[in-house]
Structure 1
Amino acid sequence: MSLENIKETPVLVPPIHEQRQIVEIARSTSVSIGALITAARTAITLLQERRTALVSAAVTGQIDVRGWAKAA
């Protein structure tokens, strides 16, 4: 395929109102994904803090870990 063939290839473009709808959907989806990413990062940070606190409590004897078994 040559550059000339590519230049001659017709490209279908939706009407402007449909293009605007597509842009709006893409923007709102992007905002939703951004919010989910933020929530996931917050949850990860909280879980890491809780894990650190749990390990610290186990090491210092604040909780009794005898008899605990690793989950299968």
Structure 2
Amino acid sequence: MDNLNTETLGRIPLQIPPKEEQRHILNFVSEISGSFNQIIQSAGKAAELLKERRTALISAAVTGKIDVRNWQAPESTSTSSMDANPYGLPSR
């Protein structure tokens, strides 16, 4: 709105739930937030582990500890770039 200002906003009626309902809402949001924080931490740990394993795999291939000369990518029905190249190695 072109003429939206604090005076206009001040005239809009605002419904505020009772204190007990506010507490219930706050508790619910805190619980959900805690769950998301755990998921985020778990995903971060998994990403770090994948980076370490990728580095170890590349290192093993470069130093000759594993033979990758005849390696072929598994057949995939998905068109996702992550499915086609799960280790983030450059395409040939």
Report the TM range for the smaller structure's normalisation: 0.7 to 0.9
Distance 1:2 1:38, change over 3 A: closer
| Structure 1: gaps (5+ residues) | none
Aligned partners of 2:69 and 2:31: how far apart in 1?
Answer: 50
Counterpart position of 1:41: 44
- Match in the other structure for 2:69: 66
Identical-pair percentage = 46
TM-score (ref. length: structure 1): 0.88
Which whole-Å CA distance do the structure 2 matches of 1:51 and 1:38 have between them? 20
Unaligned runs of 5+ in 2: 75-83, 85-92
Partner of 2:7: 4
Aligned-residue CA RMSD (Å): 1.4
3-state SS in 1 of match to 2:27 = helix
1:26 corresponds to which residue?
29
More helix by share: 1
Structure 1 segments, 4+ long, off by >2 Å, are 1-5, 69-72
The one-letter amino acid of 2:12's match is T
Q: Specify the SS of the correspondent of 1:28.
A: helix
1:2 and 1:42 mapped to 2: Cα distance? 46
Count of residues paired in the alignment = 72
The residue matched to 1:49 in structure 2 has which SS? helix
Match of 1:17 among 17, 20, 35: 20
Pairs within 5 Å for 1:48-63: 48-63=51-66
Q: Using CA pairs under 8 Å that are at least 6 residues apart, name the structure with larger relative contact order, 1 or 2.
A: 2
